Structure 1
Amino acid sequence: MNEVSAIKSKADLERVETFITKHYSEVISDAWRFGLQVSLRVSDLLAIEFSDIKNDMLTVKAQKTNKSIQIRLNGKALDIVKRRKTYGNKYLFQSTSNRAKSTNKPITRQTLSKALQDASSIIDTVINTHSMRKTWGYFQYRNTNNIALVQKALQHSSTAHTLRYIGIDQDELDNAFTCFEL
C-alpha cells in the first residue's frame, strides 16, 4: 500500500476540490473542505455533531487519544457549518444515502476515502482521508515555520515525527540534491 501524502500546492488543492465537487455529493465536498480547516483525524471529523459546535468553537473528544480538543473555527469552516445546519441533521456530515437516512449516521470513512482515491489521479499524488490532516500541517508549517505549533495541533509526541508526517524531510532532501552541485 502506498503512503498517502500532503497536497503541497494550492493549484493541486483547487484541482482536487473541483474534482470532488463535480463528481461527488455536497456532503463529501464539504467534509473534504472542512477537514482541511481543522486538522482532525477522519474518525473524529466524521463524528462531529452540531451539538459539538458552540458559536465558533468546536469541541471534540479524540477517539484515538481520548483527549478533548478545542478548535476555533475559521471563516471557511463556519460557512460550511452554517450551510450544513440548514439541513436539520444531527451530524455535520450526515449521510444522505437511503440506507442511512432513517438511522441518522454520518458518511463513512470508506465513502470519503473512495472520493479522495479517485481524485488522486488528477494530481499524480497518493491522497486519502489522512491527507487532509497532513496538508493542513504542511501549509501551517510553511506559513508559520513553527513546528512546535503544528506538533501540538496534530497531537504528536515529537517534532521529528511531525516533520516526517507532513513530508518536510523529503522536501528538504529533494532540495538538497537538486540545488547543490559540486
Structure 2
Amino acid sequence: MEYVSTIKDVQKIQLMKEVIKKKSTRDYLLFVMGINTGLRIGQLLQLKVEDVVDNQGNFRLFMEIDNQSVYLNEQIRRAFKHHFQTEIGLQHSYLFQSSRGENPITRQQAYRIINEAAKKVGIKEKAGTHTLRKTFGYHAYVKGIAVSFIQQRFHQAAPSETLKYIGVEKTERHKIDVNL
C-alpha cells in the first residue's frame, strides 16, 4: 500500500468538494461521507441506499456498520439531498453504484476520483482512498475529539499509531476550543 497524506487545509477540502460536485453527485457524496465518517473505502462502497434512507424516504441520523453506530451529520445529509435530487436510488441498490451495472464503483475508481480532484486543487502530496479516513481523523482530533475515540473508530492498537496515521507530528500543538 502506498502512503497517502491527510488534507489538513480546510480550504483545499472545500475546493475538492467543489471540483468533485461539478463532476458527479455520486462522487461528491462519496467524498463528503468519507471525510465525515472515517469509514474505510470498502465499507463505504458496500453501502446500500437502505442503509442511509428509511422506509419513509427520510435520511437516517445514524447507521450501523460493523457493530459501530455512525453519525450522519448535516454535511452528509445535504450531500444526500443533492445526490438524490438527480439520482433516484432504489432501496436495495448500492449508494455508490457504477454507471456500468448494478455493482458499486471499484476501489480503483474511488482512488482515481480522489486523486484527480486533489491534483486539480493543487495538493502536491499523494492522495488516495485513505486520504478521506485520515482527513476525518485529523480534523476530529483538531476539534477536540479524544484520540482514544478516533483510535477506537480506526481499530488501532495505540494512540501513537493513530496520531501517526492521521498526520499529527509529535511537535504539533493544537488549541482545543470547547463551547459549553
Common fold: TM-score over 0.5: yes
Give the match for residue 45 of structure 2: 46
Give 1:141 shift. Answer: 0.4
Give the match for residue 11 of structure 2: 11
Give the match for residue 137 of structure 1: 137
Structure 1's unaligned 5+ residue stretches are 62-67, 176-182
Asked if 1:60 is matched to 2:62, the reply is no
Structure 2 distance, partners of 1:82, 1:26, is: 10
Give the match for residue 94 of structure 1: 97
- Any runs of at least 4 consecutive aligned residues in structure 1 with deviations exceeding 6 A, and if so which? none
Partner amino acid, structure 2, of 1:35: G
Give the match for residue 146 of structure 1: 146
- For residues 65-120 of structure 1, give each alpha carbon's deviation from its aligned partner in whole angstroms, at most 9, with x where no partner exists: xxx2211211111223344456123122222x2x31xxx21222111211222223
Instruction: Indicate the SS of the match to 1:4.
Output: coil
Tell whether the 8 Å contact from 1:5 to 1:126 is kept in structure 2 after alignment. yes
Higher helix share: 1
Structure 1 distance, partners of 2:19, 2:51, is: 29
TM-score of the superposed pair, with normalisation by structure 1: 0.79
Instruction: Indicate the SS of the match to 1:168.
Output: coil
Asked if 1:105 is matched to 2:134, the reply is no
- RMSD of aligned C-alpha atoms? 2.1
- For residues 145-170 of structure 1, give each alpha carbon's deviation from its aligned partner in whole angstroms, at most 9, with x where no partner exists: 52112111222121011011001126
Structure 2 distance, partners of 1:84, 1:26, is: 5
Q: 1:161 to 1:16 in 2, by over 3 A?
A: same
TM-score of the superposed pair, with normalisation by structure 2: 0.80
Structure 1 distance, partners of 2:161, 2:109, is: 28
Structure (1 or 2) with the larger CA radius of gyration: 1
Instruction: Provide the aligned length of Structure 1 versus Structure 2.
Output: 161
Tell whether the 8 Å contact from 2:25 to 2:83 is kept in structure 1 after alignment. no
Structure 2's unaligned 5+ residue stretches are 55-59, 174-180
